[in-house]
Amino acid sequence: MYLLLTLQYDGYDYHGWVKQKNAKTIQGELEKAFFRVSHQQLWMLGASKTDQQVHAWDQKVLVKLPFIPNDVGFFIKTVSASLPLDINIKDYEIRDENFGVRNVLEKEYVYTINDGAVDIFNCRYELKYPRSLDVNKLNEIAQVFIGTHDFFNFSGVKKGENINTIRTINKIWIERNDHHKILIHVQAKAFIRYQIRMMVQNILACYEGKISLADIKTQLANLPGSKKTSFCAKPYGLCLAKITY
């Protein structure tokens, strides 16, 4: 039996999704919870490899069960109850063995910026900015990333790594929500390591006049003389908001 989980987590205290030998990770905690309930080590695969301190509202995880529980719903609730307080299984679906958890149509990430008063109870989930920001101006700058580009200069990929860095940004928009926080929405089929955080910090750097739109375009085009960006926003402002199949 294959189960597709919808997982939510506060990633601030974790070293990302992917299980690591000597670090606390989301996958590691999920595997422990399933083992406590089933007494078996289960195979699982996440749709998105969120980085250290990155959160998720809608992570998808495919889990292979070598048995069929009498009550699947109760089984999942029991597993969820044995997870740390900052991880929750929101929902589940039964899938067949041919389902590809990483064959997504689109992923949406949201980056949160607080340009107002200090919000001590949400400071783990947002970047604090010292001055009021003009959302319209931010939106104008952000559109430079729309379309298909080689994001090597906006990634954690190093020269020599055999990783395709061409990605297509379907949509990016910036809004101020009802709590007066700024939300940067980015939609694409796939992203590269650190890509969104680098995009966000470059938008802010351009807004501040530290770089120009032409500088960003040069880096996106990988023109001779262009270098990898040195701007990268803090990870804890980023959240995996939605995965669409």
Q: Which residues are annotated as a binding site?
A: 109
Structure tokens at 97: 């063995």
Q: CA–CA separation, 192 vs 183, rounded Å?
A: 20
HSE at residue 196, side-chain half, CA atoms within 13 A, is 29
Among 51, 134, 178, 215, the one annotated catalytic:
51
- Separation in Å, CA 141 to CA 102, 184, 217: 30, 12, 11
Residue 51 known to be catalytic: yes
For 191, the token pair is: 């992203």
For residue 144, the SS3 value is helix
Binding-site positions for substrate read 109
**Amino acid symbol at 135:** V
Q: Find the helix or strand (DSSP H, E) in which 115 lies.
A: none
Task: Pull the structure tokens for residue 202.
Answer: 């470059």
Dmax (CA) for the chain in angstroms is: 62
Q: Rounded distance, CA 228 to CA 90, Å? A: 38
Cα dihedral sign, 63-66-72-75: negative
Report CA 18 to chain centroid distance, whole Å.
13
Using an 8 Å Cβ cutoff, are 127 and 237 in contact?
Answer: yes
Kindly give the pairing relationship between strand 127-128 and strand 106-114: parallel
**Active-site residue set:** 51
